[in-house]
Chain A
């Protein structure tokens, strides 16, 4: 498996490493680097110069052991060796840009990493391990990854929720397996539970914890499992063998999903309210026979019925 890295990334990492060693009193690599780099400055062609610098930094990147780190982590994923021809390590600027993915034809992996991750080898390996696990799942036929899977959603907010839940569930699955293999994880239990909890607020606390505990120890979930669990809370409960009434609490009456459509006006809404009196509720039901207060309603619609009552005498 060929490992290639972004020249800009390698340059930044190499500079940092040289500086670090220099600050620690180790000037050897500093001198060696400059002996070679200074000669390149004499190259009159700017294009040629850039090529030479790229080669220099690639050499140092390897000599400093960074490529070995990547290779070590990759070696933990034996199935990849037969399927992937090349891994390209690109430079990410922001945390949200980091991640690994598979090329269109499935034979190349791209992973974007921020340069500062290379300052801590163990942290870097943990990150890469987690990301390569995603890719490994994508190539694993038992996982059943289907990139062209299309889910019907009614709003961008619902789509966002689906994606976020899928992402969190998959992360939990990966970390469960990493822990079983004795490997460190990107996040601890508390952190992952907080992420999970934020996305499943409607579940009462006890089943919520129970579901998470099952997932935190999961080994064999498929892509379809994750999709279904993300879009269908009942399936989540069923798949994890959890009952909604565990613990005796009622399902939360938390507001409908922020950004989902108000059942009355069908506008996406982030401000949901409660209908506080029966008269208003009845008035709404005169116009919307199938509506029930438990469906929720946006604040604007509530005001419409209250205000009309006040000014027009409905």
Chain B
């Protein structure tokens, strides 16, 4: 025990009062308190105070301007930049939202203020930082290939021109003129090379399946994939990439000699679903791409449930609404595997095994149904639960099945046709539905328009329970049941005990949540990538709706199930018959008849969509669809025709770190991209995507835009238009101008001015013409004049409110209040899906399935004993472990059988779930170059890089349960390897002595975090990956920095990345040709696939990993990481820290009144 002088003083006082008094003269004690030296006002004598002015003036600025900070976090915050001596010295929140208004005088609530976050505050560091792309780049090998006349890319030539070794080639400085010519020539050559029968033959020889080649319809332009990511972040410049793809139809006329009526453009790659951002189950439930609200609505819930969502670390500018929710007395519940930041704010936290949320909500639904805690009227009027289902074929009973000579009822005057654009052909295909009417005791027809009060007006009281035998028109007796009755049977597998075993969630909390949902209103469920990044997200999304459907928590303030990730909502610029083409008028204007009248109204723009959307997920799967050789049926194609990809020969993308952020990135680099003949990356900074591209094109940042740009948001009602306020620092251009100039160059080479015409107003730096057309022709902006908006008529110049039905925007308001159908086949919220594929997959009911990889049990098993779940296993053995076999095999088992099964991968020690949420300090990979953000982003940030192993000033980390780490001999701060199934990761065919294996194996620091359960680890996603150049630098540079020579790319890893252990899974439920749902950007319906809407939603969390120690965490690889020795870190707490955590370091005396002193 340490004795301090202060301790000793106490002892002295007690022991020697007399001694002290003997030594000290009386009155001395008081005198000792007098100041020793008299000091006057020092400032009076201070010689010079001029320096104070310099100090106060350090924040002086010459001018300011506002711009939109527009990364993919959805907020589009207007920031104010402060400029001095022509340098932006800082950026701040603009604090202006309370001034925003719309055409009708409605104003935004001041509660939106302030908007902006720490990422926005460091933008100027990126803008002026050392990683900017300063001029165009062309890969040396690619240039040589072009100069040699584009010889056939045989295996030998791929090596000669380094298509199989892009990462070790040189990137040469070039002028814009040069790169435009090379790129244009490249596109022309590739389009020619793969057109017609000869092109098809070449592709077949390269191993592409016939379905992909057929999907090209002989057009080589269909091998050109264009992606402006995330397009809504800049409708002109980013979504302009889709317009570019449409323009390629003109090229097709030159290549194939076809006319405009037969020409085809390129393919357009998605954004939302590619990132796994969509809730893929939403179109199954309500027919809409996604349900999300203005964040302003968040605060009106009284029961707020976050599932796999972190509204503390994400959506940061709107986090004050979450705080307001608490102030307004809402009950907050968080459901996550770990004790997450929202869990710390919650009334209760439900811990859960990853990817078992479906089971949890099925269990909750069972409790509510068993205890009759549901709003029967709402269920009958707005859900499919009263609709009859046939027990023989599991299809919904249609009126035509049982009423002879039935003719579908006329809906032409109703909302399905007049408001939603249902065509007659679609109407005939859908038919009408049947219920059992309790009043008349017979079958009664309901149409998709018979919802809400319209059903009530028909005096029909549909039964929810019962079994009925009916005769079909062909004389067969069949049993039919209301779906509700079938669910009662179905939910028997989800009793409380089973749900507890499946999910590991405490029974009392499951019951508590069921009762809270049943008794508190309004209820909102907020989900995120913590749900959507799993293979069976579809089921989870559908399951979350069940309790809300039972209680009517839809379409009302503070209610609903809402999904949050990126700024995907092109649908904000919705076209309609009464306004015009909207968004499609920009991306799909007829390239053969562009409107060159600068004053043309948006409604008059002719649309001719010659592109076809496609999921990059196919590229991510070896550039192949899902085709499996099944024992039962032989070769079976699971990818629907409406989804079918084409071979990828050109990748042209902007504003997205496509390669860096690709799941299974090293497989792409090693085995897939050598087959891609031209990769063009447009970006601000040097990224891994640029390092592995053939062309790197430098773009202006948001502050540098030379022409107008427009954006809006899925999470707020603000329309934002802006231009930059500073001149570009380098030889950079606006995204839109790059597209325009490249398009024009193609036109010059083929001698066709239509290419240039298509971009006329961009070339003239008058993007406002296209913006006005967009405003004119979108339902949410019709009536606005660009000049008024820029003059500040609606608030800050450039800002206005989108014209939503309500403020805040509430999904399905019209459905509930105006009795308008939902966007499903039934017009109701669907708990059931009777598509033939879905019945085959065993997912007609919402059912819990274990994942194809991330499970300790039989991969992909369906947990059910319901006789109305009849999956097809295609004859695939239960022991089959190939990833595609696991993907499509459908085996049904009760829970008691399931829990006896084992996943061989889990048994081999791959027993960590790998959670990869978004970091608060980056927006996906943006800001991975900014020093401050890197330092904030982990516990290992160190501007001095005292440990020379650190790749840069920041270093990525893996959160791990301390006991799990200890059991593996891993200390806090140690370096570890994170490895996944060696059969395919980090790439297929890897060998220990591959130089590329050294690049691709994930090595990262461990941080003990007791918030995580034993079998779950967490790494934030999308840091900058290790590349060949960065690994070489890390190993050769004396300072150990992972800073690539030649490109100046700064990796965040020493080796590998988070994408070393992820891969793509081709989820069958996402690839149907039959799902009926609303088209994204039109008031119309479609069957089957549409990118970002009903399409492959990638699932990076569907992985199991092993963690093993690599190096000691101490300096230079010796001993413990220094902070772990402090006694203040998890599992190494010293006595004081233990006392502190127990609250025992401060003793509080109770006062006389019983309260604390």
Interface, chain A (partner B; CB < 8 A): 11-12, 15-16, 19, 30-31, 34-35, 37-39, 42, 44, 53, 155-157, 159-160, 259, 262, 264-271, 287-288, 299-301, 303-304, 307-308, 310-312
Query: Which interface residue of A159, A259, A267 has the most chain B CB atoms within 10 A?
Result: A267
Choose from A15, A37, A301, A304 the contact partner of B3 (Cβ within 8 Å): A15
Contacting pair B1108 A271 (CB below 8 A): yes
Contacting pair B23 A300 (CB below 8 A): no
A124 to B201, CA, bound (A): 87
Choose from A34, A38, A304 the contact partner of B982 (Cβ within 8 Å): A304
Contacting pair A156 B1111 (CB below 8 A): yes
Contacting pair B12 A264 (CB below 8 A): no
Seed contacts A264-B993, A287-B993; 5 additional CB < 8 Å A-B pairs: A160-B1112, A266-B998, A288-B993, A307-B981, A308-B982
* Shortest Cβ-Cβ A-B pairs, 9 listed: A156-B1117, A15-B3, A265-B992, A264-B992, A270-B1109, A311-B983, A307-B983, A307-B982, A304-B982
Chain B's interface: helix, strand, loop or mixed, by majority?
loop
Q: Let me know if B979 is at the binding interface, CB within 8 A.
A: yes
Q: Which residues of B contact A38 (CB under 8 A)?
A: 12, 16, 19-20, 23-24
Contacting pair B1118 A159 (CB below 8 A): yes
Q: Let me know if B990 is at the binding interface, CB within 8 A.
A: yes
A30 to B15, CA, bound (A): 10
Contacting pair B19 A269 (CB below 8 A): no
CB distance from A75 to the nearest CB of B (A): 30
Contacting pair B989 A269 (CB below 8 A): no
Q: Which residues of B contact A12 (CB under 8 A)?
A: 2-3
A269 to B998, CA, bound (A): 14
In the complex, 6 of the A-B residue pairs with CB atoms within 8 angstroms, ordered by the A residue number, are A157-B1117, A259-B1111, A265-B1001, A270-B1108, A299-B1108, A303-B908
A53 to B1003, CA, bound (A): 53
A314 to B1117, CA, bound (A): 37
A35 to B18, CA, bound (A): 12
Contacting pair A267 B2 (CB below 8 A): no
Residues A35 and B908 in contact in the complex (CB < 8 Å), given A15-B8, A262-B992: no
Contacting pair B16 A34 (CB below 8 A): yes
Choose from B20, B983, B1108 the contact partner of A300 (Cβ within 8 Å): B1108
Q: Which residues of B contact A16 (CB under 8 A)?
A: 3
CB distance from A143 to the nearest CB of B (A): 25
Residues A31 and B881 in contact in the complex (CB < 8 Å), given A159-B1118, A300-B1108, A312-B988: no
Q: Which residues of B contact A15 (CB under 8 A)?
A: 3-5, 8
Residues A303 and B982 in contact in the complex (CB < 8 Å), given A31-B19, A156-B1116, A311-B882: yes
Residues A310 and B977 in contact in the complex (CB < 8 Å), given A157-B1111, A266-B998, A303-B982: no
Residues A267 and B1110 in contact in the complex (CB < 8 Å), given A300-B979, A304-B990: yes
Closest to A262 in B: B992
Closest to A155 in B: B1117
Closest to A265 in B: B992
CB distance from B989 to the nearest CB of A (A): 7
Contacting pair A265 B1109 (CB below 8 A): no
Contacting pair B23 A39 (CB below 8 A): yes
CB distance from A117 to the nearest CB of B (A): 14
Q: Which residues of B contact A303 (CB under 8 A)?
A: 908, 982
A288 to B998, CA, bound (A): 16
Residues A34 and B991 in contact in the complex (CB < 8 Å), given A266-B998, A270-B1108, A307-B983: no
CB distance from B318 to the nearest CB of A (A): 43
A311 to B1108, CA, bound (A): 23
Q: Which residues of A contact B39 (CB under 8 A)?
A: none
Contacting pair A44 B1111 (CB below 8 A): no
Q: Which residues of B contact A308 (CB under 8 A)?
A: 982-983, 989
A205 to B1116, CA, bound (A): 33
Closest to A39 in B: B23
Choose from A264, A269, A287, A304 the contact partner of B1110 (Cβ within 8 Å): A269
A299 to B977, CA, bound (A): 12
A267 to B1003, CA, bound (A): 10
Q: Which residues of B contact A304 (CB under 8 A)?
A: 982, 990-992
Q: Let me know if B940 is at the binding interface, CB within 8 A.
A: no
A264 to B991, CA, bound (A): 9
Contacting pair A268 B3 (CB below 8 A): no
Q: Let me know if B182 is at the binding interface, CB within 8 A.
A: no
Cβ contacts B976-1016/A at 8 Å (1 or 0 each): 01010111100011111100011001010000000000000
A310 to B15, CA, bound (A): 82
Contacting pair A271 B1109 (CB below 8 A): yes
Query: Which interface residue of B969, B984, B1003, B1108 has the most chain A CB atoms within 10 A?
Result: B1108
CB distance from B1109 to the nearest CB of A (A): 4
Q: Which residues of B contact A259 (CB under 8 A)?
A: 1109, 1111-1112, 1117
Choose from A11, A42, A157 the contact partner of B32 (Cβ within 8 Å): A42
A122 to B5, CA, bound (A): 28
A44 to B37, CA, bound (A): 11
Closest to B990 in A: A304
A262 to B1110, CA, bound (A): 11
Cβ contacts B1-33/A at 8 Å (1 or 0 each): 011110010001001100110011000100010
Contacting pair A265 B997 (CB below 8 A): yes
Residues A267 and B1112 in contact in the complex (CB < 8 Å), given A12-B3, A311-B983: no
A311 to B985, CA, bound (A): 12
Q: Which residues of B contact A310 (CB under 8 A)?
A: 881, 983
Contacting pair A265 B982 (CB below 8 A): no
Contacting pair A300 B977 (CB below 8 A): yes
CB distance from A225 to the nearest CB of B (A): 24
Closest to B2 in A: A12
Contacting pair B977 A34 (CB below 8 A): no
Closest to A14 in B: B3
Contacting pair A156 B20 (CB below 8 A): no
Closest to B1110 in A: A268
Q: Let me know if B36 is at the binding interface, CB within 8 A.
A: yes
Q: Which residues of A contact B28 (CB under 8 A)?
A: 42
Residues A312 and B989 in contact in the complex (CB < 8 Å), given A160-B1112, A270-B1110, A271-B1108: yes
Closest to B12 in A: A34
A171 to B15, CA, bound (A): 48
A114 to B1006, CA, bound (A): 32
Closest to A30 in B: B15
Choose from A42, A271, A287 the contact partner of B991 (Cβ within 8 Å): A287
Q: Which residues of B contact A34 (CB under 8 A)?
A: 12, 16, 19
CB distance from A291 to the nearest CB of B (A): 10
Choose from A157, A269, A299, A307 the contact partner of B1112 (Cβ within 8 Å): A157
Q: Which residues of A contact B989 (CB under 8 A)?
A: 308, 312
Contacting pair A156 B1118 (CB below 8 A): yes
CB distance from A303 to the nearest CB of B (A): 5
Q: Which residues of B contact A271 (CB under 8 A)?
A: 1108-1109
Q: Which residues of B contact A155 (CB under 8 A)?
A: 1117
Closest to B979 in A: A300
A167 to B920, CA, bound (A): 46
A266 to B5, CA, bound (A): 56
Q: Which residues of B contact A288 (CB under 8 A)?
A: 992-993
Contacting pair B1111 A268 (CB below 8 A): yes
A67 to B908, CA, bound (A): 62
Closest to A263 in B: B992
A159 to B1119, CA, bound (A): 11
Contacting pair A270 B983 (CB below 8 A): no
Q: Which residues of A contact B979 (CB under 8 A)?
A: 300
A44 to B33, CA, bound (A): 10
Closest to A288 in B: B993
Closest to B1116 in A: A156
Choose from B36, B969, B1116 the contact partner of A270 (Cβ within 8 Å): B969
Closest to B988 in A: A312
Q: Which residues of B contact A19 (CB under 8 A)?
A: 3
Q: Which residues of B contact A159 (CB under 8 A)?
A: 1117-1118
Closest to B970 in A: A270
Closest to A297 in B: B992
Choose from B981, B992, B1109, B1111 the contact partner of A301 (Cβ within 8 Å): B992
A307 to B1106, CA, bound (A): 15
A308 to B908, CA, bound (A): 15
A64 to B1003, CA, bound (A): 56
